[in-house]
């Protein structure tokens, strides 16, 4: 898109709201952030966003007509038709408290606004300016408190018939596995989220009796994190390696099956757990190669995300380009 007009990206999270002003080519020119005020059923959030944008445009001596649009990523379920959000519990926007950011922010700033789910905008960000290398076929999976994802095929975000697409965390990897918050059993999220990895560690520790720092820590009742598991595995702690192997098997299976179905160019792995880096990726890849058929094995590549927390604002801004 050749234009001097700019984009605004907003990444609305449960603790922070991040803002960026970007060129139409996705170059970040300004950024700022503020705390999310979830008091009063989250009623301050949208007015705060509007005020913050208007205030910063004043500060930078910019006007609404210098922008193509605003794109925002949000937790919860997005109804694209209505431009509404529901069920964003960490913002205190519950089912009975539907919010209409598209209408409100468009009116409040005079800039056309676009909205999408936060995992999907992170996927769009990594696709556009991150590990996805602007390929038309990218799947993104985020390993954090939960496991989320986004699917981009033929250059377009896939939302499915009801916005449920991309929920890679709810792929069933073990029909007899742990109960998931979603109501079913053995979801990828129950074993590959930060808490899932710790759960697997606790279970494997029970049946393990050899020498292991991880085992001692667990037996001593220490609070361990997914990072501890990966750090110990990197220094060859036997139990930690077993945990990493099991988690990687589940991730390789789920991502392998996504690849068998969609043959994307890249599957990008992000989120807090991905800080474990190449070590994490190599272990997943071992199983990924085992569970993919030849053509897919040769052509679909796993990669680490490169934008970190910045993927959200950039992907949110790209909604504007997609929408135009």
- Contact range with a second copy by CB under 8 A, out of 89-97, 120-128, 181-189, 198-206: 181-189
What is the gyration radius of the CA atoms in the chain, in angstroms? 21
- For position 123 contacting a second copy by CB under 8 A, the verdict is no
For β-strands 156-157 and 147-153, DSSP reports them as: antiparallel
- For position 89 contacting a second copy by CB under 8 A, the verdict is no
- For position 133 contacting a second copy by CB under 8 A, the verdict is no
| Alpha-carbon dihedral sign for residues 19, 21, 27, 29 | negative
CB of 78 to a second copy, least distance (A): 12
**Site mask for a second copy (CB under 8 A), range 247-286, x = bound:** --x---xx-xxx-xxxxxx---------------------
What residues pair up with 168 in beta bridges, in sequence order? none
CB of 171 to a second copy, least distance (A): 5
CB of 190 to a second copy, least distance (A): 12
Element housing 106 (H / E): helix 101-109
For residue 213, how far is the Cα from the chain centroid?
31
- For position 300 contacting a second copy by CB under 8 A, the verdict is yes
- For position 47 contacting a second copy by CB under 8 A, the verdict is no
Identify which of 316, 259, 320 has the alpha carbon closest to the alpha carbon of residue 121.
316
- 161: Cβ contacts below 8 Å, ≥ 6 apart: none
Compute CA distances 226 → 143, 290, 317, 319, whole Å.
10, 24, 31, 33
- Interface residues for a second copy in 154-173 (CB under 8 A)? 154, 156, 158-168, 170-172
Interface with a second copy by CB under 8 A: which residues? 77, 135, 137, 149, 151, 153-154, 156, 158-168, 170-172, 175, 180, 182-184, 187, 249, 253-254, 256-258, 260-265, 290-296, 298-300
């Amino acid at each position: 898109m050749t234009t001097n007009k700019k984009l605004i990206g907003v990444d609305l999270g449960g603790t922070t709201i991040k803002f960026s002003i970007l060129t139409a080519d996705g170059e970040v020119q300004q950024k700022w952030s503020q705390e999310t005020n979830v008091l009063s059923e989250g009623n301050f959030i949208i007015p705060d966003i509007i005020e913050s944008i208007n205030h910063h445009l004043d500060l930078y001596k910019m006007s609404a007509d210098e922008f193509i649009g605003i794109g925002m990523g949000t937790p919860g379920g997005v109804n694209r038709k209505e431009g509404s959000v529901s069920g964003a519990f960490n913002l205190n926007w519950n089912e009975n408290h539907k919010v209409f950011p598209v209408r409100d922010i468009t009116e409040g700033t005079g800039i056309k606004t676009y909205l999408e789910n936060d995992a999907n905008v992170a996927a769009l960000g990594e696709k556009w300016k991150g590990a996805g290398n602007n390929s038309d076929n990218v799947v993104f999976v985020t390993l954090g408190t939960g496991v989320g994802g986004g699917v981009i095929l033929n250059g377009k975000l896939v939302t499915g018939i009801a916005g449920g697409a991309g929920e890679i965390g709810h792929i069933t990897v073990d029909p007899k596995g742990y109960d998931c918050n979603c109501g079913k059993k053995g979801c990828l999220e129950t074993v590959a989220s930060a808490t899932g990895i710790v759960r697997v560690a606790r279970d494997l520790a029970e049946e393990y009796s050899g020498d292991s720092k991880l085992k001692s820590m667990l037996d001593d009742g220490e609070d361990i994190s997914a990072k501890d598991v990966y750090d110990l595995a990197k220094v060859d702690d036997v139990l930690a390696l077993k945990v990493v192997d099991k988690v990687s098997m589940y991730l390789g299976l789920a991502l392998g099956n996504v690849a068998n179905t969609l043959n994307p160019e890249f599957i990008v792995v992000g989120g807090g757990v991905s800080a474990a880096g190449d070590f994490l990726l190599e272990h997943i890849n071992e199983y990924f190669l085992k569970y993919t058929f030849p053509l897919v094995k040769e052509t679909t590549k796993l990669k680490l995300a490169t934008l970190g927390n910045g993927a959200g604002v950039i992907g949110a801004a790209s909604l504007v380009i997609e929408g135009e």
